[in-house]
Chains A and B, each alone.
Chain A
């Protein structure tokens, strides 16, 4: 099927682009070259990842496009990458969003553009690498390496409290992930394998599973983030530049969900069953509590950040009820949230670039001056709320169906979260877009320009496609999810 290592090329193309940008000398005339180089690299990467999707075989269980090379000579640790139904769309999400991030930073980033683009391309390499690793150590290395560019992006190009936010992000997530390292090494000691695919199943005694599960939980619960480990997220979002928020909400949060599916459910099924009530409680609290917190926010980005925590609460419910509706719903919800929250942050970025404030009270009546923007924003807002026909609906609907099979109360609370979500999103939309245009400073605000249209329209198309044809996305992941569910059921049958 393939002669050349498609996945490796996809992983390392952004790194190559980074080195090319590294070699460009900085002066006033080369800034555009740097931007274009970064943009074309990321578009090229997206095309490559689409090639992976096109060639992907829906009827094959397990990893495809596998590349396996000796990496450590003394351990069974390989450079081992591949794609299955679960990682395919995570990779596509990363490559899909990166070009928009670069476009969104086109004019808003004014200082150190070269370092900025290098950081973004490095981030892209690391994200793709993480989702496509089949080796646990490789996964871990990419998982932690994400922190370096993110730390720099928030710390250098962020807002006023950027230093606090970047340190919080780095140390919080590092503390979680080092425990995962210990767990990974311990699993290796027991099985002498680092292969994620081979370890899917029930290979550990329940007692060991519980400890390992807690170690992984520390890592992924911080990353996704679950209540009460979410406090780094609003800070990071508010301080990050627009593109940083986009990638943070769009992809980095999904690392946690991906990890839960792969490691917690896939490798430690008995412990996952044992802990599922805990997850349910934390998720329900996350949905209701953070929705209420979101309602009280005055900063747009913070509001959307809290809404992310609530949406991720839905995802964790979907994951840990472990039936096909729940897991498929969680996957779709992750993809949808990746697109929608990214788009919402971009929408905030549009008016932030013009007015340099994110205060909700500052705005009002934008519909008079920015009709196109209002329509675009409305579509994403409704997608976030979960209007049928948009991407948000499919995920939430599936998760609630799955939750009913699991426990009625969980489903009840999860559904109430959707109502709360509608309240705060509509409140945000109403205050910004509708009403009279009172603020003098808003009189000269102009509508979307071409660059912003190029960024936002494809995202609208994406939201509609996911909402109307979810099967395009569900079909490839179905077998991989079935495999995980059957492993889980076998493990917990006794």
Chain B
């Protein structure tokens, strides 16, 4: 391993940190158009980082006291995060400009939180893990309140901060318990130290539960989901888009790694927690979304439900589960990008749409937009022939392979319940008669490009459903042969 200076600079996390700091200075000293420029520059930097992640395949960053590791699993989730951040900056640029939120700090903060997530995903130590979580969360607290003139935005930010700080505290307490009872903070060492135990002692069980509770908060799994609808609703829609696309990815990746690495041998202990989180999230996400009138709250509950399905893959704890989560995660990110790209460009009477009722008559005046929304929601509901079905299919295959039949049955039943609220939106767009006529759909060309790619992916995935499977199998080799 050559640890010369170039290798270190071109390490993705470091490169992104440097670029972000440079962009911060550029933004500070630029007088005009700083927001637009910083947005463009940060998208370009993210693409650059994407290339770096691909290139740096060989460099395993083990030297730094084994704080960080790299593996195909980690690399995949990093790529997904970069793609998610990139898309959410691209699709929300116009929205920021039109709603007069032209603060160049926003893309910078998004980049900072992406750094946090990359650190978090590749951490191999409780300390670096906590570091990553805090870097991610602190940036997120700030962007949630970025619209400081809006009461709702500030309220949601404070709520998020207080609850987030509490969950970080719990997580830290769990970490200290694990350290105290296992004698190490390093994932590998914890695994080695624990390998002689038949079952976890009480302190470690508490540590495990506390850490999982903290992480469940980050991915908004029930019963730690309370903040999600409020923050989603309060934050500006473009920030909501970022919230629902990216931090989920890092949180899920970390939960997977945490259960499968240090606590690899204690499936029976953590699987109970994961199965509970999964069932609770699926059902709460499905049932609570039914009566929502705000599209953002609805998407919040829908994301809670999706987390439930994603956790099934972990509860299965087999190669098919990893493969399933890889595919599900990609589809989840793409479907969210698509739906937010539309919501962020759709205006009714010169106001951005936020209420579901505002969609009435959309199918008459903007048939293609309505059709796209319908396809995305049908896909989210897991109705074939759209892509979302295959995500669920892979997850259920994993569950049945692990003989979790009841979990799979509950999963499909909750998917029927959730179909109801997705259909409700289709009903409002297509069936209801009272008309809103004055829709504007103004979308920037980059955002349109992202939208088209996502829509093609969602609609035509059925023709080549194995597109992602070799990727999934390759990634699952990390944990299961």
Contact = CB atoms under 8 A, between A and B. Distances in A.
A74 interface: yes
A175 B417 CA distance: 9
A174 B400 CA distance: 20
B466 A174 contact: no
Contact of A144 (B383, B426, B465): B383
- Interface SS of chain B: helix
Given A155-B431, A175-B413, A185-B396, A73 B470 contact: yes
A326 B219 CA distance: 56
A152 interface: yes
B462 A141 contact: yes
B397 interface: yes
B111 to A, nearest CB: 36
Nearest to A188: B397
A175 B383 contact: no
Interface stretch (B58-66, B137-145, B401-409): B401-409
Contact of B427 (A73, A115, A141, A155): A155
A71 B466 CA distance: 7
A223 interface: no
B389 A141 contact: yes
Contacts of B430: 152, 155-156
Nearest to A137: B393
Interface in A161-175: 162-163, 166-167, 170-171, 174-175
Contacts of B408: 182, 185
B412 A72 contact: no
Contact of A156 (B384, B393, B401, B431): B431
Nearest to B465: A72
A170 B419 contact: yes
Nearest to B403: A189
Nearest to A129: B385
A185 B400 contact: yes
Main secondary structure of the interface of A (DSSP, over half): helix
Nearest to A155: B431
A148 B378 contact: yes
Interface residues of B, number: 33
Interface in B338-369: 364, 367
Interface in A440-482: none
B97 interface: no
Among B389, B393, B396, B415, the most chain A Cβ lie within 10 Å of the Cβ of B393
Nearest to B473: A74
A221 to B, nearest CB: 16
A185 B420 CA distance: 24
A145 B375 CA distance: 12
A143 B257 CA distance: 37
Contacts of A171: 416, 419-420, 423
A423 interface: no
B469 interface: yes
A392 to B, nearest CB: 35
Given A170-B423, A175-B416, A179-B412, A189 B466 contact: no
Given A71-B465, A155-B430, A171-B419, A181 B383 contact: no
A174 B419 contact: yes
A140 B389 CA distance: 11
A186 interface: yes
A147 interface: yes
A170 to B, nearest CB: 6
Interface string B418-441: 011001001100110000000000
A182 B405 contact: yes
A125 B142 CA distance: 51
A239 to B, nearest CB: 11
Contacts of A178: 412-413, 415-416
Nearest to B320: A74
Contact of A167 (B413, B415, B420): B420
Contacts of B470: 73-74
Contacts of A163: 427, 431
A55 B21 CA distance: 72
Contacts of A151: 423, 426
Given A156-B430, A162-B431, A178-B413, A140 B420 contact: no
- Residue of B416, B426, B470 with most chain A CB atoms under a 10 A cut-off: B416
B416 A74 contact: no
Nearest to B397: A185
A112 B323 CA distance: 42
Contact of A74 (B378, B412, B469): B469
Contacts of B469: 72-74
A73 to B, nearest CB: 4
B466 A74 contact: yes
Interface of A: 71-75, 112, 115, 137, 140-141, 144-145, 147-148, 151-152, 155-156, 162-163, 166-167, 170-171, 174-175, 178-179, 181-182, 185-186, 188-189
Interface of B: 323, 364, 367, 378, 383-385, 389, 393, 396-397, 400-401, 405, 408-409, 412-413, 415-416, 419-420, 423, 426-427, 430-431, 462, 465-466, 469-470, 473
Given A166-B427, A185-B397, 11 more contacts: A74-B466, A145-B383, A155-B427, A163-B431, A167-B420, A170-B423, A174-B416, A175-B416, A179-B412, A182-B400, A185-B408
6 contacts: A71-B466, A72-B466, A144-B389, A145-B384, A181-B396, A189-B400
- Closest CB pairs A-B (n = 5): A178-B412, A73-B466, A141-B384, A74-B469, A155-B431
